[in-house]
């Protein structure tokens, strides 16, 4: 029988979401816990041996004690062998006196929720076999060097499963040009002599869905989206590791909200219709929509668009709008407003001909209208 692991990371509990109105922020803050709760319930349903959080359970060291306790409460509902929580670079453990991790430990006292805040190994003996975890927690927010180097030199007892827990960037997977985030090389991870690594830090999952065999490492990605930068619905890994090292794994979808940025250039009523259809397909109550609209529309269409967008606020969890749409000006419109021969007509006609800057004509029109209203 294999060892069964539920692997998550980068939950970022305590993230502020300050840019959102109170109600939206509350919902997003709650979602961090809700998603964690769902994962624990799912792990129990799957009869997992271990629930692994590979770093950044918390967004920052200054996360409130209330949130820490709440997170521990959720994790304590795990019914398997142990919850293994690794300190990541956001919730790094700078010393045994770390306020965050002292609070965490106190809250988790007497439970199977274990904090891995110092480099070391932890053995478990189960009916299915023995397993040794190699914990490589982050001692700081930034580091040019990985903290996994010691693992290769550790003796590896035969007949056990050897699994690494680490948090940081992996060359080739994430972008860390400055090498600030404990940058690890896949070749080093492979050469460490472990059966696999359970990692955190990069918010994009790895390996790609459909990959078979035993990957060198797993990266679950964020468990529920936190911004438009997260383009997936939030994931975790379900991993079954046989005593012989055979591996079965499955990507699980765990998020309950989506952040979606729709960047659209609208130049025709059809474009608006397409945008509407696209929005209708979305799970509006659970979606933070970020509309970035540009283009050029007739006045009536633009008014209709504005009315529709304003209406979205009542259905979507939240709507942000960054709109830069000009009134559509054409020769007929110009002629209707300014008789031929007038300076505005001549200027606007000239500006209209400049296809590279379609907004200029509209800007000039506004200026002229302001002027004539004085």
Partner 1 sequence: MKLLTLRLHPFGATVDRSISLHDGLNVLEGPNEFGKSTLSNALWHVLHTPTNLTPARLRDTMGPCYPLPGGDHARVTLRFEAADSTWSLEKTWGAGGASRLQADGAAPLADPAKVQEKLRELLRLNTATWQQVLFTKQAQLASTVEQLADHGTSLDDVHALMKGAAAIPGDVAPEKLGAALDERVDDHFSRWDVRTRGPEAGRGIMNPWKNKLGPVLQSYYAVETLRSQHDAVVHYEHELDAVNARLAQAQEALTKDADFIHQGKDLRQGLSQRGALEEKVTRLTNEEKALMAIVTAWPGADQVIAAKDAEHTRLGESLTRLDAELAAARQHVAAESLRQGYQRLTSAKATWDEAVQKLAIARPVDAQAIKDIKKLEQQIESLRIQIEAQKLLAELECSSERSVTVQRGTEAPETIVLGPGQPWKGDAAGKFTVEAGDLRISVQSGMEDVDALFTKLEAAKGRHVEGLEKLGHESTAAAEAAAKAHEELAREVKTKEGLYTAALQGRSAEQWATEMQALATLPQTRALPVLEQEKNEALAQQAKLKAEAEQESTKVQQWKKEHGDVDALMEKVIERKGQLGGARTELAALPALPEGFSSVADYLKLLDARERAQESVKLEMDQVTQERTRLEATTPERTAEDLRAELELKEREFQRQLAEGEALLRIRKKLEDVIAARGEGDPLQGLTAAISTHFNALTGGRYTGVQLQGTAPAQVSGPTSLPTGLLSQGTLGSLALATRLALAELYLKDDKGFLVMDDPFTDMDPARRTAAAKAIGAFAQQRQVLFFTCHPLHAAELQEVVQGDVSVTMA
Binding site for partner 1 (CB under 8 A): 16, 18-19, 59-60, 62, 94-96, 139-143, 227, 322, 324, 337-339, 341-344, 346-347, 350-351, 354, 357, 359-360, 363-364, 367-368, 370-372, 374
Radius of gyration of the chain (CA): 27
Tokens of 3: 């060892």
- Which of 134, 184, 199 lies closest to 161, judged by CA? 134
**What minimum distance in Å lies between the beta carbon of 26 and partner 1?**
17
Least separation, in Å, of the C-beta of 229 and partner 1? 8
Compare residues 242 and 359 and give the one whose CB is closer to partner 1.
359
Minimum distance, C-beta of residue 279 to partner 1, in the bound complex (Å): 22
Q: With respect to partner 1, which residue has the nearer C-beta, 280 or 370?
A: 370
Question: Residue 234 CB, nearest distance to partner 1 (Å)?
Answer: 18
Q: Which residue, 173 or 348, has its beta carbon nearer to partner 1?
A: 348
Q: 345: alpha, beta or left, given left = phi > 0 and alpha = psi -120 to 50?
A: alpha
Total Cβ atoms within 10 A of residue 263: 11
- Closest-CA residue to 186 (of 134, 146, 154, 153): 146
Query: Closer CB to partner 1, residue 45 or residue 374?
Result: 374
Structure tokens at 304: 């209709």
Distance CA 279, CA 315 (A): 10
CB of residue 344 to partner 1, shortest distance in Å: 6
Taking the least distance from each CB to partner 1, the nearer of 97 and 153 is 97
Residue bearing tokens 């504005």 = 306
Shortest separation between residue 85's beta carbon and partner 1, angstroms: 19
Distance CA 101, CA 139 (A): 12
CB of 105 to partner 1, least distance (A): 17
Q: Please, what sign has the CA dihedral across residues 221, 222, 223, 228?
A: negative
Angle between helices 65-75 and 22-45 (to 10 degrees): 30
Residue 98 beta carbon to partner 1: minimum distance, rounded to whole angstroms: 9
CA pair distance 23, 26, nearest whole angstrom: 5
Which residue lies nearer to partner 1 by CB, 36 or 365? 365
Q: Residue 224's CB: how many other CB atoms inside 10 A?
A: 28
Looking at the Cβ atoms of 180 and 214, the one nearer to partner 1 is: 180
Measured distance CA(171)–CA(284) in Å, rounded? 36
Q: How many residues does the chain have?
A: 374
Cβ contact 273:36 at 8 Å: no
- 60 with 14: CB under 8 angstroms? yes
Least distance between partner 1 and beta carbon 128 (Å):
36
Would you say 92 and 117 are in contact if contact means Cβ atoms under 8 Å apart? Answer: no
For partner 1, give the closer residue by CB, 28 or 241.
Answer: 28
Rounded to a whole number of angstroms, the minimum distance from the CB of residue 177 to partner 1 is 15
Residue 59, helix vs strand vs coil: coil
Tell me the two tokens of residue 239: 């991993």
Q: Which is nearer to partner 1, 271 or 360 (CB)?
A: 360
Rounded to the nearest angstrom, the gap between the alpha carbon of residue 322 and the centroid of all alpha carbons in its chain is 22
Decide whether 100 or 279 has the Cβ nearer to partner 1: 100
């Amino acid at each position: 029988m294999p060892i069964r692991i539920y692997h998550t990371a980068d939950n970022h509990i305590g993230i502020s979401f300050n840019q959102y109105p109170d109600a939206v922020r509350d919902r997003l803050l709650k979602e961090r816990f809700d998603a964690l709760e769902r994962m624990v319930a799912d792990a129990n349903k799957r009869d997992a041996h271990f629930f692994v959080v590979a770093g950044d359970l918390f967004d920052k060291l200054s996360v409130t004690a209330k949130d820490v306790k709440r997170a521990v409460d959720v994790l304590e509902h795990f019914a398997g062998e142990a919850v293994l929580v690794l300190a990541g670079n956001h919730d790094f453990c700078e010393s045994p006196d770390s306020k965050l991790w002292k609070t965490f430990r106190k809250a988790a006292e007497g439970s199977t929720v274990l904090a891995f805040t110092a480099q070391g190994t932890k053995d478990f003996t189960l009916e299915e076999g023995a397993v040794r975890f190699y914990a490589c927690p982050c001692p700081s927010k930034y580091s040019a060097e990985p903290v996994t180097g010691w693992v290769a030199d550790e003796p590896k007892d035969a007949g056990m499963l050897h699994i690494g827990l680490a948090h940081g960037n992996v060359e080739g997977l994430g972008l860390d040009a400055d090498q600030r985030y404990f940058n690890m090389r896949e070749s080093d991870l492979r050469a460490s002599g472990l059966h696999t690594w359970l990692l955190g830090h990069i918010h994009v999952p790895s390996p790609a869905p459909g990959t078979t065999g035993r990957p060198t490492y797993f990266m679950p990605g964020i468990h529920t989206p936190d911004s438009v930068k997260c383009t997936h619905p939030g994931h975790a890994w379900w991993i079954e590791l046989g005593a012989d090292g055979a591996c079965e794994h499955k990507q699980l979808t765990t998020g309950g909200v989506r952040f979606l940025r729709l960047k659209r250039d609208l130049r025709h009523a059809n474009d608006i219709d397409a945008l509407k259809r696209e929005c209708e397909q979305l799970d509006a109550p659970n979606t933070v929509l970020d509309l970035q609209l540009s283009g050029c529309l007739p006045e009536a269409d633009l008014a209709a668009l504005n009315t529709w967008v304003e209406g979205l606020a009542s259905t979507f969890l939240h709507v942000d709008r960054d709109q830069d749409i000009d009134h559509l000006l054409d020769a007929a419109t110009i002629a209707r407003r300014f008789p031929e021969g007038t300076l505005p007509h001549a200027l606007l006609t000239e500006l209209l001909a400049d296809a590279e800057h379609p907004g200029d004509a509209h800007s000039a029109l506004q200026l002229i209208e302001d002027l004539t209203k004085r």
